[in-house]
Structure 1
């Protein structure tokens, strides 16, 4: 990518971010990326490099959880869901086997201990969604609430079923009807119609320490392996599995949202108060993004922190500011908002990082933003 053309514009004073983005595009193995930043309600950065453009649609992997969390916040704002209520109020079968006390907030903040069914499940059942949700509802708690345990894929099935019980529709339908269609956002859960999104490329160079860590912590049977494969139902690498037609046409709110860079940033901007159309009020936003759990994650092995579906700053989630919320994805996607700084940001690269929990591109970009508007 040496000498790659950078397209787009930055507002006065934001040149350090353009320089940081250009430096990323010169890195070996970068195919292209988009970066969009909204600050205090106005577009500050709209940049594209390599094969990326304003209309490029991309699977954002676990950054999907931030999109889904925004949908749940909108339902809370409408009074359709209460974060403090037990899940069983809306989904009675979930209350079996000692889970009747688990609240919606605990479920959405990765405290329910349901990272995978204890009995084998097929890939078709994972992609369908409801069979996986039914299997999880029939489980006992693996761990008590109080510490996070990252539900890498099951979070989406649980959130989708909760929304279905409340609204009668799936989470992707709520996203379209309540958020994307009214506001012209190019985001969806899966791609049931239209051309497929651009493919992602796996990291070409994986440091020895990362390979060793993966060998130890993601070996078959470990919590990380169970969470990432749903107990072995998924047996392909993420960048391969996500290209399959059956994956792209499924609704997996934890993993297969498709978005443009600009639309993802605008979604986060609409969660911030006082800057154009706002999806939720201040009280709902505080309930959605306030800390619900923090500590050493039982799955990831490092400290993580969560609100109601949103990742919060921690060792696992580097979001650039203690007041930010959002979600990164294993492919390198990042979406976030920071109410204190009036910031909304989306970064979508086409090349995956070697270490999903420590993407150097995120550090570079967030440091450049801090140079412009402060930490």
Structure 2
């Protein structure tokens, strides 16, 4: 273990001329842990750096292949898998989910469409009825089955962030179409076609260095529960707790067992370079480096806003939901072609089809109440600077 007060490893990697301020802001923002940052314009890498510590004991410097728990950045991966299936004619966005997943027709859900599911308008955001025992969190097949049988929580067609449920819904639909789980599909439908490392649902293969979450997730979950009287009475976020929490999740995150299941809403283990490269394909007509991920038509359709109504469950904001992605955070709202997905605490990935840019930031200092809010704010600032610097270069 390094001596008390030992300085964190300085960020290292590639920084194109003119992007030094971005690297400096990233370095000043790492907190107690570490992280990685990547920015591209199509095939051109503009920034690809990492720094800080990958473990709580501060003994392992972050390396370019360190995989980090990006939480909800996983939703971007799961959505991209479904778009690959749609591109091959296996999935129609306007068809009922039950056309592919017959069990989903239970409890009045027979008319819920794939488009509504992908744009968080399926009315199935509450996870508390699904997770009856703490161990249920780790049984993804059980969660898919329970969602298929679950009644609708709120009005279909009204946006409400399916913070946890989205991943199991996407995985259950993909499983019915392919017979494969989302862990395997992310490899076969994204990583392999693009020739990428660093994109995983759940625990990566042995030999891949894993970043530990530095913050105290039980503290953050405890705060969510403590403020339930406030959430439940709010006209903007009445479902905050129900969409995010059921007993046991904090224990599984703290122990690392959350990586031993398929939770494509929350347990994406990614590198910044891998995530940025995936979004580079989405930003540039579905292709990267001569490798095609999506057809130009399907890729173009990802920018289309499905609903700009205010989220009335957990976020309280107009997220401008696309099919599985929201407006890119830190990018000016006038940029209609910019979309992606954030994770709690500031990790994010996005594509901007108007400029050809793609971006990813991952870091592991997240969990405490105060630091999580501060990391989110700092992440937005870094994202905004990346977009701004890239406009004139």
Residue of structure 1 in register with 2:13 after alignment: 8
1:358 is displaced (CA, Å) by 7.7
Cα distance in 1 for residues equivalent to 2:362 and 2:67: 9
Cα distance in 1 for residues equivalent to 2:52 and 2:89: 44
Going from structure 1 to structure 2, the CA distance change for 1:358 and 1:324 (only over 3 Å counts) comes to farther
Length-normalised TM-score, structure 1: 0.86
SS in 2 for 1:225: helix
- Root mean square deviation, CA, Å: 3.0
Equivalent pair of 1:147/1:294 in contact (CA under 8 Å):
no
Please say if 1:330 is aligned against 2:344.
yes
Residue of structure 2 in register with 1:175 after alignment: 186
Going from structure 1 to structure 2, the CA distance change for 1:138 and 1:244 (only over 3 Å counts) comes to same
Cα distance in 2 for residues equivalent to 1:53 and 1:66: 23
1:120 is displaced (CA, Å) by 5.5
Cα distance in 2 for residues equivalent to 1:2 and 1:15: 21
SS in 1 for 2:50: strand
SS in 1 for 2:340: strand
Residue of structure 1 in register with 2:379 after alignment: 362
Residue of structure 1 in register with 2:41 after alignment: 39
The 5 Å alignment of 1:75-94 reads 75-94=85-104
Please say if 1:307 is aligned against 2:318.
no
Structure 1 residues 41-86: Cα deviation after superposition (integer angstroms, max 9, x where no partner): 2000011121222011111111110111111111111221111111
Equivalent pair of 1:121/1:132 in contact (CA under 8 Å):
no
Please say if 1:110 is aligned against 2:120.
yes
Please say if 1:202 is aligned against 2:215.
yes
Going from structure 1 to structure 2, the CA distance change for 1:297 and 1:213 (only over 3 Å counts) comes to farther
Structure 1 residues 92-115: Cα deviation after superposition (integer angstroms, max 9, x where no partner): 121222211111010111111112
Residue of structure 2 aligned with 1:224, choices 240, 249, 261 = 240
SS in 1 for 2:283: coil
Which runs of no fewer than 5 residues in structure 2 stay unpaired? Answer: 1-5, 54-61
1:355 is displaced (CA, Å) by 4.6
Cα distance in 2 for residues equivalent to 1:307 and 1:263: 22
Cα distance in 2 for residues equivalent to 1:162 and 1:370: 34
Cα distance in 2 for residues equivalent to 1:194 and 1:299: 38
Residue of structure 2 in register with 1:139 after alignment: 150
1:217 is displaced (CA, Å) by 4.4
SS in 1 for 2:326: coil
Aligned length: 361
Structure 1 residues 13-50: Cα deviation after superposition (integer angstroms, max 9, x where no partner): 2222123223324xxx3321110111132000011121
Which runs of no fewer than 5 residues in structure 1 stay unpaired? Answer: none
Cα distance in 1 for residues equivalent to 2:265 and 2:29: 27
Cα distance in 1 for residues equivalent to 2:331 and 2:260: 30
Length-normalised TM-score, structure 2: 0.82
Cα distance in 2 for residues equivalent to 1:2 and 1:265: 28
Structure 1 residues 294-343: Cα deviation after superposition (integer angstroms, max 9, x where no partner): 22222214113321211225xxx544553311111114311111111111
Residue of structure 1 in register with 2:3 after alignment: none
